[in-house]
A and B are shown apart, each in its own frame.
Chain A
Amino acid sequence: SQKIEQNSEALNIQEGKTATLTCNYTNYSPAYLQWYRQDPGRGPVFLLLIRENEKEKRKERLKVTFDTTLKQSLFHITASQPADSATYLCALPVSGGSYIPTFGRGTSLIVHP
């Protein structure tokens, strides 16, 4: 069955550095992959979507890469700020018959001032 893997250990970085989060998946080749941000006690918020034919996508300080050969997406936050501290979830469809994304368990990012 499809598996989505995100590092369960929190990522601690210093303010101003680039944070890099990883999402690995197995088996299925998804048509797209999404990244969401979730703050404690709140619902996830959509950040970026990248399609299978796109290698990289940017939005302000965010950059997402999608390597369909490695079955991996990297999510970068440049010039990180304490306000970027949150849990980041990747999501992708896990079967050809479904368009609905399945969510990874998320990685917690903590940016220290």
Chain B
Amino acid sequence: NAGVTQTPKFQVLKTGQSMTLQCAQDMNHNSMYWYRQDPGMGLRLIYYSASEGTTDKGEVPNGYNVSRLNKREFSLRLESAAPSQTSVYFCASSENSYEQYFGPGTRLTVT
């Protein structure tokens, strides 16, 4: 039982490049989330998916897109990366609206 897994662990992009961050959970949770964490800013919600087939914007959605591929997988795409998107990205899942299980994070640097 791996919980929440994220790939890649580290990534360096040049401005304007695109990439997709992958997230998968094996707990059969309905809800999944993408957060970014920056020094001094805390965790901020980018997008979430309350259930398979639905996605909604969070606090900071600009510059990102998401896909809920199936119940297990929720991906985050940066179409044209910008230095302001340098951050640590966390995926999380939850069965109810309360306890969230987080992945290990992806450290992204955009130069």
Complex formed: what's the CA distance from A45 to B59 in Å? Answer: 21
Check if B104 sits within 8 Å of A44, measured CB to CB: no
Check if B33 sits within 8 Å of A43, measured CB to CB: no
Check if A100 sits within 8 Å of B97, measured CB to CB: yes
Check if B45 sits within 8 Å of A100, measured CB to CB: yes
Contact with A along B1-41 (1 / 0, CB 8 A): 00010000000000000000000000000000101000011
Identify B105's interface contact among A32, A42, A101, CB under 8 A: A42
Closest to A8 in B: B40
Assess whether A75 is interfacial by the CB under 8 Å rule: no
Identify A46's interface contact among B35, B99, B104, CB under 8 A: B99
Closest to B39 in A: A105
Check if B105 sits within 8 Å of A43, measured CB to CB: yes
Q: Which residues of A contact B43 (CB under 8 A)?
A: 44, 89, 103
Assess whether A99 is interfacial by the CB under 8 Å rule: yes
Check if B41 sits within 8 Å of A99, measured CB to CB: no
Identify A34's interface contact among B41, B59, B99, CB under 8 A: B99
Interface residues of A in 78-113 (CB under 8 A from B): 89, 99-106
Check if A105 sits within 8 Å of B40, measured CB to CB: yes
Identify A49's interface contact among B35, B45, B98, CB under 8 A: B98
* Smallest CB separation, B30 vs chain A (Å): 12
Identify A100's interface contact among B4, B42, B48, B105, CB under 8 A: B48
Taking Cβ atoms with an 8 Å cutoff, the residues of A that contact B are: 8, 32, 34, 41-46, 49, 89, 99-106
* Other A-B pairs, 14, CB within 8 Å; known A43-B90, A43-B103: A34-B99, A43-B104, A43-B105, A44-B100, A46-B101, A100-B58, A101-B100, A102-B59, A103-B35, A103-B42, A103-B43, A103-B44, A105-B41, A106-B42
